[in-house]
Structure 1
Amino acid sequence: MLTLAEEFLERGVETDIVLTTTEGELADEVPPEARVIDLEASRILTSLPGLVRYLRRRQPPVLLSAMRRTNCIALWARALSGVSTRIIVSEHNALSASTSQSSWEDRALLSLMRFTYPSADRTVAVSEGVAEDLCRSVGLCREAVTVVYNPVLGPGLAEQATEHADHPWFSTESNSVVLGVGELCEQKDFSTLLRAFARVRERRPAYLAILGEGDKRSVLEREARRLGVSDRLWMPGFVSNPLKYMARASVFALSSRWEGLPTVLIEAMASRTPVVATDCPSGPHEILEDGEYGRLVPVGDPSALAIAIEEALEGHVQPAPRSALDRFRRDAVVDQYLDILSTVV
């Protein structure tokens, strides 16, 4: 959303950025030209009154929302405010894979989505897989959902990739470094990556770096000790610029159980790094064009992932061509969003 806002502003589109709170890791990345509205809410649900007041006061022609709870709140706020603001909601993850029927919170959210999403003026999904899954889960017809990929590739990408990677493993091409990037959580399934890496280590010298933070850190550290690879594992936590490591890694590995359109996979491809990924719902299959631009392996299969990593380390997985990435260019994606905005105003 911040990337879209920045591009809108550069093209002369007046843009407000409405935040539940201005605190967080990405607060410093808000474009300075944007008008920032802080709803000063402790959670998304409690932002409803503030959003209603904002809509009544500013009456923007269009509100573009992302994330499920935020989408529901935005549609609810419009109904309560009585304004004519058009609402475009966007879905960024595979709904069925990321929710659980055993969780009352997930069941309640799904019911709320089924009630509110049909009232959106347009619905956007970040991949074909996400669109199809959303339609099945919420009951929308497929024609009601437009697929627009994320604006991943912008003008600053190449510069970020050339920054110094301040870790000795990345200082020489003779090192075989496997790289994973993402939150240390169930979705990313770095446990499978660790087990795959342990198999790779049985046959060749290699290192594993996992960039990200999350509640599975201690679990992963214990697993690394159990597998005997702690001395070849580096987990520095959240890294603001992972591209400098991607550009110097031997292979990028995505081990996720589910996704929407994994940005890190696209960034790794843009860094000219060979990639391997689980064929999870959804995104990797589309990004890699059914395995044409990287290896696809079954979800949760460390043996298959290890084989794919070794193939990449042996030079059998080629970096993706530039032409494979045109659909993720920032300018092209923003053009699509502006076309959508023009149809609802």
Structure 2
Amino acid sequence: MAALKLEQVSKRYGAVQVIDKLSLDVEQGEFIVFLGPSGCGKTSLLRMVAGLEEVSGGRILIGGKDVTHAAPGQRNLAMVFQHYALYPHMTVRDNLAFGLRNIGLPPSEIDDRISESARMLELTPLLARKPGQLSGGQRQRVAIGRAVVKEPGLFLFDEPLSNLDAALRGRTRLELAQLHQRLGATMIFVTHDQLEAMTLATRIVVMNGGAIEQIGTPAEVYRRPATRFVAGFIGTPGMNFIPVQRVAGEGDLCRVQTPGGGSLATRVPLQGLPADAGFSLGVRPENLHPAAAGAQSAMSGRVEMVEFLGERSLAHLKLDDGSPLTITLNGSQPTPGERIGIAVDLAEAHLFDSQGRAHHARVDLT
């Protein structure tokens, strides 16, 4: 296992600044996921760690050693790519052994490492086959096995599941999580798939435009996003953003006016809020439900579509100002065209200011 430290790391391609002075500490044994949309810089960052891209500025330390300008083979890491990159003329055993032979390990140690990694990844019955005789999931396990046999201090994964179908992605996610538990290794995983990030990571690094938007556990980035970007990017479907106006209220909590003129007392403290009146109320669909019959509600909308997803149903609405809203149904099944009131779980409602910064509900309120 090896810790990773990035100090003010930058990457430029000519005049284009891809990453600007990014710093990050990864502890030994962590499973860190770089998550973000295409073009956010996550793969460039991983390739700089691997030594496949030159660093334009800053330092990279692995296990306390400065490897900023070291060759890939001198960094004590192994990388699994999106494409399997197996040697088609070699058996699985020879694919696993190739790198170990190149560094001159004794045959007995090579056999031991292959036997252990094959057992761990359920490759033992496949060792005599060639890649053309394997399924996509089996080939990816061989690619992972080729990294495991090196016994590196750091594992790097560059979107390794993107070429697999949905069923194989689910199984391989589980295998990677189990592999991390067994090895206790430090792993860095790049993806744009939030489901992979949420199920695998001990911490998620959410990236946008070459910068870090938020670092946190899956629960933290989901329930207490630092910015509107994180709130909208994480979650399926994404968080609802409702335009609201801050109004005078009693006590130390912010009261807002909702579309249609209703008033809602949030649990967000007034202290720390900027002076501007315009905010967005951010609420996830599972924290919005149809209001009980006869109950007063601060918002209402017209149902446009009901979506049945098996384990839950969602209603897609339009508010009075035309804003879209997605809510979770709690047993009732409104019909398209019906107008319904909306109940809000205020403990899970956030305010986002005009700069996109999040202001969260106070957790000590019941």
Regarding TM over 0.5, the answer is no
> Which protein has the bigger helix share?
1
Question: TM-score if structure 1 supplies the norm length?
Answer: 0.28
The structure with more radius of gyration? 2
Question: TM-score if structure 2 supplies the norm length?
Answer: 0.27
